Amino acid sequence: MVFMDGDGTLWYPKLTKRDKVPHWVYSDPVTSRDPNKHLILTPSTLMVLKRLKRSGVRLAVLSIVPGPRDTAREILKKRVDHFGLRKYFDELYPVPEESDAKGRLMEKVLKREGISKKHALMIGDSYTYDYKSAARHGIPAVLIHWESYGAPEAARVRRKIKHLHEAMEYIK
């Protein structure tokens, strides 16, 4: 099973791409009314999703979406649908903005589905929320690393890539 972060991994703001953290688009007065209109897919997203789906890999989006669970789920659904990506994902999981939320949820999902942690992978662009959270729970992870907004600790990460398509080498 492959878990993918949304912001910065699957999509990012048209204006800044990876020049600054992607979630600015949700609070900026100009873009916050309709943030989806200001987002684009990251390079190779469609190619990677098509390839993984064809090969039978289970896919899930784990994305930080603040607010009540039902509202957050609707926001994430609309974002995924905006890009026409729903057919690629088996599950959509909005998570609160807590450093360990993704790791806890991945562990719970894997246990429920009877999938070994070694047969899972987290792909994300945040050292704290994606990589470290997965690693803390024993789940393999790949970090999409950008110097422009990466945590200093990310420099020590071995499984580091610049583009989503590079994660394919870690998916068995």
Q: Is the pLDDT of residue 168 over 60?
A: yes
User: pLDDT > 70: what percent of the chain?
Assistant: 97
Each residue of 12-71: pLDDT tens digit? Answer: 999 887 777 888 888 888 888 899 999 999 999 999 999 999 999 999 999 999 889 899
Given this model, what pLDDT does residue 150 score? 64
Residue 159 reports pLDDT greater than 60: yes
Residue ranges and CATH numbers for the domains of the chain are: 2-170 (3.40.50.1000)
pTM of the model: 0.93
Q: For residue 28, what pLDDT is reported?
A: 85
Q: What is the 3-state secondary structure (H, E, C) of 60-114?
A: EEEEECCCCHHHHHHHHHHHHHHCCCHHHCCEEEEECCCCCHHHHHHHHHHHHHC
Whether residue 163 has pLDDT greater than 60: yes
Confidence of residue 96 (pLDDT cuts 50, 70, 90): very high
Cβ contact 24:8 at 8 Å: no
- pLDDT digit string, tens, across residues 72-90: 999 999 999 999 999 999 9
3-state SS class at 142? strand
